[in-house]
Amino acid sequence: MKCLYCDNEIKDYSLYSLLFEEDKLCLKCRNKMNFHHQKFKLEELEVESFYEYESLFKDLLLQYKECYDEALYKIFLYKIYDYIKLKYIGYKIIYVPSSTSKLSQRGFNHIKKIYESLNFEEINGLEMIEDISQVAKSYKQRSRMKTNYKYTGKSLNKVLIVDDVCTSGSSLMGVYDAIKDSCKVCKAIVLAKT
């Protein structure tokens, strides 16, 4: 099998890839992704992230999202899949929405594609008020996302908000503000934090 990034033959397997799941990246590329698990708070919302953004992770995410390299979706939850499944048992998942223009341009929901293998029940009823793409937006422009979501779904017990990257935190906080009155417990995970 060849590495999905460097295209070299995968010869050096980790113990995890031999015992549990075959990695789609070679060990050299996997190590360049710079795993960095951290927990932080955005006001009262607890968030976990798993990678350093300024590493090979950033290149892979851009290739996946902006070059529509859909095959890369499997690499992002490698090694953290079981951790998330166990830690968030009983949670329902809500995806931070992308703009309609980005979804139609890509042809797939990049966030949903990454996280759907967790098989958490998906929450419906969240939508953007104004269809805004955050690509190449300043911090001030991104802050508009804090008030750009509304939730019209039912009451919930435990909710896990998921996104790919936390930049300003505005999208996460916007989703949280939209659903917090409808749920008892709400936490968030992102793949990386800038």
Cα 3 from Cα 89, distance rounded (Å):
32
Element (H, E) at 41: strand 35-42
- CB proximity list for 40: less than 8 A, separation 6 or greater: 47, 49, 193
pLDDT band at 11 (very low <50, low <70, confident <90, very high): confident
Residue 16 pLDDT > 70, yes or no? no
Cα 166 from Cα 4, distance rounded (Å):
25
* Segment 145-180, tens digit of pLDDT: 788 899 999 999 999 999 999 988 999 999 999 999
Q: Are strands 92-95 and 156-166 parallel, antiparallel or unpaired?
A: parallel
Judged on CB neighbours under 10 Å (0-12, 13-18, 19+), 191 is buried
> pLDDT value at position 180?
96
* Segment 19-47, tens digit of pLDDT: 667 889 998 999 999 999 999 999 999 99
* Segment 107-155, tens digit of pLDDT: 899 999 999 999 999 999 999 988 776 665 555 666 677 888 999 999 9
pTM of the predicted structure, to 2 decimals = 0.90
The residue-averaged pLDDT of 88-116 equals 92
Task: Calculate the average pLDDT of the chain.
Answer: 90
> pLDDT value at position 131?
75
* Segment 44-79, tens digit of pLDDT: 999 999 999 998 999 999 999 989 899 999 999 998
Cα 134 from Cα 140, distance rounded (Å):
11
